[in-house]
C-alpha cells in the first residue's frame, strides 16, 4: 500500500518505519524540517530500540521517504495515518490545534484527489471529537463526502515508548472504528501481517478505550506504590506480598471485580479498607488512592439516588437488599444505604430479598439492620409480585432468576433501574420495558 504518515513523533516514526519494513511504500510528513531531514538521512529523530536500524534500512531501500508537503503526501497516499500530537492545553483539556490544522490541510489537499483515500486518526482524542469536529472539517475543506469519496477511521495507538517497535508487531489489541466498508477492508489489509483479530467498534468507544486503558494503568501503578509504601512502613516484605498478590489469577488479576455495576459493600471490603488506611495514618503514610475509594463508592450510591429522584417516581421497590446475591448479610450493604437515603427523603420503599427473613436474622447482621433501618419490618414484603404491585419503580439489586421472571410480567407504566453488574445485565428490551442500568 501507499501510506502517508502525518506527524513523525514517537507514534508516527515507529509506524512509518515498521510499515515500510512490512513492505509498504511510506511517505512521512512533518512540519519539522529537522525531523524530515534526519529521517531522510536514515537517522531516527527519537530514541527507540531498533528504530535507527529499521529507518536506515528502509530509507536505503527506498520504501521510506519524507516530506513537509501535505499536498504531495495526500496525492501519494491510499491510506493516511494521522499521528500528530494532542497535548495538554495547560488546563487539563486537550490542545487540538495540531490535529485540527493537519485535518484542515488534508481536507484542502483532498479537493484535487480523484482516488479514494482512507484517513485514519491514530492520535488520542476524546469521544465526540472525531465525529463532531474532524469529520465535518475534512468534508468542509475537501468538498467531498466521508464514506463515499474518502474513508474515515479511528484506530487508537497502544504502543509504549521504549518498546514501540516490539509493540507495533505485537499489539495488545487492534481497535478500529470504520465509517465505511471500503475503509474496513483497507484496515484488515493493513493489519493482516500483525493482527488478524481486529476489534471493530463504534467511534466513541474507540476514542474512549485509550483513555480507559491509560486510566487503569495509572491506577495500577498508584495502587502498587501505595501498597509498597504501606508494606515498607509496617516492616512487611513488599516482594513477598506482591508475589502472592499477583499469583492470584482468580480474584486479583482477573476480570472479577472489574465490571461496572453498583457499589461494593458487605462485612469485609469497607471495614478492611478503613483498617488499612487507619493503620497507614498511624504510621504517617499517605494513601490518597485507597482513602478515596470509600468516598467514590459512596458517590456511586448517591448517583443511584439521583437517578431515582430524577425519575419522579415515589414508590420504590427493591429486589435484593443483601450486599450480593446468595447471602443474607446486610452489613454495610449499599442497597441498605440507598434505601436509607430514599427513606430520609420520604420515598415509599418496599423490599423483597429471597434470602432475608427478619425473624431468621441473627447476631451482628440483625443488629446492623435494626440500627440502620429501624422500620425494616414494615418494608419487607413476602414476594417479588407484591413489591412489583406496590411500586412504580423497581430497583434490581441482586440479579436472580425468580426476580427476572416476575419482572418480565410487570404491568406497563413501571420503570426498572438495574443496579446489578454489567455482565449480569441485559435481557430487558428497552423498547418494551422502561429500563435503565446504573452504568449503561
Ligand X SMILES: NC(=O)c1ccc[n+]([C@@H]2O[C@H](COP(=O)([O-])OP(=O)(O)OC[C@H]3O[C@@H](n4cnc5c(N)ncnc54)[C@H](O)[C@@H]3O)[C@@H](O)[C@H]2O)c1
State the minimum distance, in angstroms, from the CB of residue 34 to ligand X: 9
348 DSSP β-pair partners: 315
State the minimum distance, in angstroms, from the CB of residue 158 to ligand X: 6
4: exposed, middle or buried (C-beta count within 10 Å: 0-12, 13-18, 19+)? buried
Of residues 3, 10, 154, 351, which one binds ligand X by CB under 6 A? 10
Question: What does each C-alpha distance from 198 to 3, 182, 208, 212, 228 come to in angstroms?
Answer: 19, 15, 17, 18, 37
State the minimum distance, in angstroms, from the CB of residue 128 to ligand X: 16
Q: 44: how many CB neighbours lie within 10 A of its CB?
A: 20
- Across the beta sheet with 415-418, the strand order is 348-352, 315-319, 393-396, 415-418, 434-437
Q: What gap in Å lies between CA 292 and CA 68, rounded to an integer?
A: 48
Verify binding: residue 11, ligand X, rule CB under 6 A.
Answer: yes
Tell me the three cell numbers of residue 345. 427523603
Verify binding: residue 29, ligand X, rule CB under 6 A.
Answer: yes
Contact 308, 417 (CB under 8 A): yes
Q: What gap in Å lies between CA 20 and CA 49, rounded to an integer?
A: 17
Verify binding: residue 7, ligand X, rule CB under 6 A.
Answer: yes
Tell me the three cell numbers of residue 209. 478505550
Pairing relationship of beta strands 150-154 and 175-178 according to DSSP bridges: antiparallel
Q: What gap in Å lies between CA 334 and CA 341, rounded to an integer?
A: 11
Measured in degrees and rounded to the nearest 5, phi and psi for residue 57 equal: -60, -45
State the minimum distance, in angstroms, from the CB of residue 65 to ligand X: 15
Q: Report the residue number whose CB is nearest to ligand X.
A: 9
CB nearer to ligand X: give 11 or 58: 11
Of residues 1, 31, 133, 302, which one binds ligand X by CB under 6 A? 31
Active site residues: 268
Binding mask 35-74 for ligand X (x = CB under 6 A): x---------------------------------------
Binding mask 102-141 for ligand X (x = CB under 6 A): x--x-----------------xx-----------------
Residues 145-164 that bind ligand X (CB under 6 A): 157, 159, 161
Coil, strand or helix at 202: coil
CA torsion sign for 134, 137, 141, 143 is positive
Binding mask 158-197 for ligand X (x = CB under 6 A): -x-x------------------------------------
Tell me the three cell numbers of residue 313. 417516581
State the minimum distance, in angstroms, from the CB of residue 163 to ligand X: 10
First to last CA, the chain: 40
CB nearer to ligand X: give 44 or 365: 44
Verify binding: residue 84, ligand X, rule CB under 6 A.
Answer: yes
CB nearer to ligand X: give 168 or 262: 168
Pairing relationship of beta strands 348-352 and 393-396 according to DSSP bridges: unpaired
CB nearer to ligand X: give 32 or 375: 32
Verify binding: residue 267, ligand X, rule CB under 6 A.
Answer: no
Verify binding: residue 6, ligand X, rule CB under 6 A.
Answer: yes
CB nearer to ligand X: give 157 or 226: 157
Using the CB atoms, write b or e for 53-74: b if 16+ within 10 Å: ebbbebbeeebbbbbeebbebb
Q: 333: how many CB neighbours lie within 10 A of its CB?
A: 27
- Considering only 9-17, 219-227, 308-316, 362-370, which stretch makes contact with ligand X by CB under 6 A? 9-17
With CB under 6 A, what is the number of residues at the site for ligand X?
Answer: 25
Verify binding: residue 83, ligand X, rule CB under 6 A.
Answer: yes
Q: What gap in Å lies between CA 197 and CA 386, rounded to an integer?
A: 49
- Considering only 99-107, 201-209, 281-289, 408-416, which stretch makes contact with ligand X by CB under 6 A? 99-107
Of residues 9, 42, 147, 266, which one binds ligand X by CB under 6 A? 9
Of residues 3, 4, 5, 12, which one binds ligand X by CB under 6 A? 12
State the minimum distance, in angstroms, from the CB of residue 57 to ligand X: 21
- Considering only 29-37, 279-287, 339-347, 411-419, which stretch makes contact with ligand X by CB under 6 A? 29-37
Verify binding: residue 420, ligand X, rule CB under 6 A.
Answer: no
Residues that bind ligand X (CB under 6 A): 6-12, 29-32, 35, 83-86, 98, 101-102, 105, 123-124, 157, 159, 161
Amino acid at each position: 500500500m501507499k501510506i502517508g504518515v502525518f506527524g513523525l513523533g514517537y507514534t508516527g516514526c515507529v509506524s512509518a518505519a515498521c510499515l515500510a519494513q512490512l513492505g509498504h511504500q511510506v511517505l512521512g510528513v512533518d512540519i519539522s524540517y529537522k525531523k524530515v531531514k534526519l529521517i531522510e538521512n536514515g537517522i531516527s529523530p527519537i530514541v527507540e530500540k531498533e528504530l535507527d536500524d529499521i529507518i536506515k534500512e528502509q530509507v536505503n531501500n527506498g520504501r521510506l521517504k519524507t516530506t513537509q508537503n501535505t499536498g504531495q503526501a495526500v496525492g501519494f497516499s491510499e491510506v493516511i495515518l494521522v499521528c500528530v500530537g494532542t497535548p495538554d492545553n495547560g488546563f487539563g483539556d486537550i490542545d487540538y490545534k495540531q490535529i485540527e490544522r493537519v485535518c484542515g490541510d488534508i481536507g484542502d489537499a483532498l479537493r484535487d484527489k480523484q482516488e479514494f483515500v482512507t484517513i485514519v486518526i491514530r492520535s488520542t482524542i476524546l469521544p465526540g471529537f472525531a465525529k463532531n469536529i474532524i469529520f465535518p472539517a475534512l468534508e468542509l475543506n475537501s468538498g467531498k463526502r466521508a464514506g463515499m469519496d474518502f474513508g474515515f477511521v479511528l484506530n487508537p495507538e497502544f504502543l509504549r515508548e521504549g518498546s514501540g517497535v516490539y509493540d507495533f508487531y505485537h499489539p495488545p489489541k487492534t481497535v478500529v472504528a470504520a465509517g465505511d466498508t471500503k475503509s474496513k477492508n483497507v484496515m484488515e489489509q493493513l493489519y493482516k501481517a500483525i493482527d488478524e483479530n481486529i476489534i471493530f467498534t463504534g467511534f466513541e468507544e474507540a476514542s474512549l478505550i485509550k483513555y480507559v486503558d491509560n486510566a487503569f494503568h495509572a491506577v495500577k501503578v498508584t495502587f502498587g506504590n501505595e501498597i509498597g509504601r504501606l508494606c515498607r512502613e509496617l516492616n512487611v516484605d513488599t516482594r513477598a506480598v506482591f508475589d502472592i498478590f499477583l499469583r492470584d489469577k482468580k480474584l486479583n488479576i482477573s476480570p472479577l471485580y472489574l465490571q461496572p455495576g453498583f457499589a461494593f459493600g458487605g462485612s469485609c471490603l469497607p471495614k478492611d479498607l478503613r483498617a488499612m488506611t487507619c493503620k497507614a495514618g498511624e504510621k504517617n503514610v499517605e494513601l490518597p488512592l485507597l482513602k478515596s475509594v470509600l468516598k467514590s463508592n459512596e458517590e456511586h450510591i448517591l448517583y443511584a439516588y439521583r437517578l431515582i429522584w430524577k425519575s419522579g417516581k415515589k414508590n420504590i421497590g427493591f429486589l435484593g437488599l443483601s450486599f450480593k446475591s446468595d447471602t443474607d448479610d446486610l452489613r454495610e450493604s449499599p442497597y441498605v444505604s440507598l434505601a436509607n437515603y430514599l427513606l430520609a427523603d420520604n420515598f415509599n420503599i418496599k423490599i423483597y430479598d429471597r434470602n432475608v427473613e427478619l425473624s431468621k436474622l441473627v447476631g451482628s447482621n440483625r443488629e446492623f439492620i435494626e440500627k440502620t433501618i429501624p422500620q425494616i419490618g414494615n418494608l419487607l414484603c413476602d414476594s417479588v409480585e407484591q413489591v412489583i404491585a406496590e411500586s412504580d419503580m423497581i430497583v434490581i439489586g441482586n440479579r436472580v432468576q425468580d426476580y427476572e421472571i416476575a419482572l418480565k410480567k410487570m404491568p406497563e407504566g413501571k420503570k426498572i433501574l438495574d443496579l446489578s453488574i454489567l455482565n449480569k445485565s441485559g435481557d430487558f428490551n428497552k423498547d418494551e420495558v422502561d429500563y435503565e442500568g446504573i452504568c449503561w
